[in-house]
Amino acid sequence: MSSALPPAVENPAQSIIDLERQYVLQNYTRYPLVVSRGKGSYLYDTEGRRYLDFLTGIGVNALGHAHPRILRVIREQAGLLIHSSNLYYHAYQGPLAKRLAEMSGLERVFFANTGTEGIEGAIKMIHAHGRGVSPEKYEIVALENSFHGRTIGSLSITGQEKYRQDFEPLMPGVKFVPPNDTAALEASFGENTAGMVLEMIQGEGGIQPMTHEFAARARALADQYNALLVADETQCGVGRPGTYFAYQRSSPVILPDVVVAAKPIACGLPLGFIAANAKAAAAIKPGGHGTTFGGGALACRVALEFLDILDELLPAIQRVGGYFHVTLNELARKHHVIKEVRGFGLMLGVELSVSGKQLVLDAIGEGLLLNCTHDTVLRFLPPYIVTEREVDQAVKILAKLLGKLKP
């Protein structure tokens, strides 16, 4: 008997929720919202209510929903070839790898499916690079407050106890350093350091940018100790900060040896990548790494189309992101519950002096989607197509809700 759809009942949203609660692993705390479709910067629920989407599937739907150019490419390519494995060539991996190499300033690309999978590959690069020097050279420097994913390797370099505690013991040899603490960074490096992994703007950690001084010191120490510097740009990369990558915001650019990114690159289709310089890429020998799904024809072709559109949108990301930042700062002057506004481009965080969890729920009721990291930081990852008018709309809702909060 087919069970593809829940039975028709009076409240279809509730029946969808109930069925999930019974059969889906209860690892997610979902918001009470059942979405059914999207268009531009808006999502719609099963009742047809409209929500301004300032979270975009946690930074994935960078062109909003149902972008006509992406739809056209998906339709055409789905009829030709979706997946063929990495046993054969297809027309889109090479051009996409070339494009990403040019954008990142690095040389070779590996295609994965998610940010976590990219990080796992980067950890393998670090270990293989270290082993090429000495069996003791496997230590990794990572940052407190960081987030790199949920597998054992990526959790091992994630500096937040709440994600790690149930899964210990994790991978040995990881040293955590407080972000932007240059003295602690210097003390953590040694001859056995094989690599360092950092987010130039910590996302899950509450939209915390690294200072130029700290990132430059990390680069210099990695060079001094022959370690690989890995930038995890899963959340802060591929256009979101107003540059292709967050490390390109620095002048001069602090070029890592390896970059990992994922979220927006294929507009909702799973695609991640590692871009590496020649030294890091050489650590992975033929047969040393692989994936069944990564780099499929459909995902790669969509990514190429996305990158064409991104080039047209970069100035708007800077302009509208700047406008949003200024508007949030104005809000902070009126609402003392706001402690700080942080971030760049369309990756912005508002730190409150109280928990933001209820505000996020109330915002859903008002037709605005955002979320809260670290309990007190409202996180905004709007689509790259967002307009000043939509920013005004979001800020109006926020002003109303902030007025109800007690500092």
Cα dist from 390 to 41, 67, 77, 276, 285, whole Å: 8, 17, 32, 37, 49
Smaller CB separation from ligand PLP, 126 or 338: 126
By CB under 6 A, is residue 158 in contact with ligand PLP? Answer: no
By CB under 6 A, is residue 56 in contact with ligand PLP? Answer: no
Question: In the bound complex, what is the minimum distance in angstroms from residue 274's beta carbon to ligand PLP?
Answer: 12
Q: Distance (Å, rounded) from C-alpha 239 to C-alpha 61?
A: 12
Q: What is the dihedral of CA 265, 268, 271, 273, to 10 degrees?
A: 30
Smaller CB separation from ligand PLP, 275 or 397: 275
Residues binding ligand PLP: number (CB under 6 A): 15
By CB under 6 A, is residue 206 in contact with ligand PLP? Answer: no
By CB under 6 A, is residue 120 in contact with ligand PLP? Answer: no
By CB under 6 A, is residue 239 in contact with ligand PLP? Answer: no
Burial class (CB in 10 A: 0-12, 13-18, 19+), 21: exposed
Query: Up-side HSE of residue 265: CA atoms within 13 Å toward CB?
Result: 34
Per-residue DSSP letters for 359-371?
HHHHHHHTTEE-E
Q: What is the dihedral of CA 325, 327, 331, 332, to 10 degrees?
A: 30
Smaller CB separation from ligand PLP, 234 or 243: 234
By CB under 6 A, is residue 53 in contact with ligand PLP? Answer: no
SS3 44: strand
Question: In the bound complex, what is the minimum distance in angstroms from residue 118's beta carbon to ligand PLP?
Answer: 8
Burial class (CB in 10 A: 0-12, 13-18, 19+), 299: buried
Tokens matching residue 194? 């094989």
Q: Which of 53, 232, 351, 390 binds ligand PLP (CB under 6 A)?
A: 232
By CB under 6 A, is residue 130 in contact with ligand PLP? Answer: no
By CB under 6 A, is residue 235 in contact with ligand PLP? Answer: yes
By CB under 6 A, is residue 208 in contact with ligand PLP? Answer: no
Interface characters, 339-378, with ligand PLP (x: CB under 6 A): ----------------------------------------
- Cα 201 versus chain centre, distance: 10
Burial 113-131 (b: 16+ CB within 10 A, else e): bbbbbbbbbbbbbbbbbbe
Smaller CB separation from ligand PLP, 271 or 402: 271
By CB under 6 A, is residue 125 in contact with ligand PLP? Answer: no
Question: In the bound complex, what is the minimum distance in angstroms from residue 255's beta carbon to ligand PLP?
Answer: 19
By CB under 6 A, is residue 380 in contact with ligand PLP? Answer: no
Count other Cβ atoms within 10 Å, centred on residue 11. 12
By CB under 6 A, is residue 199 in contact with ligand PLP? Answer: yes
Q: Which of 129, 137, 148, 219 binds ligand PLP (CB under 6 A)?
A: 148
**Contacts to ligand PLP by CB under 6 A:** 58, 114-116, 119, 147-149, 199, 203-204, 232, 234-235, 262
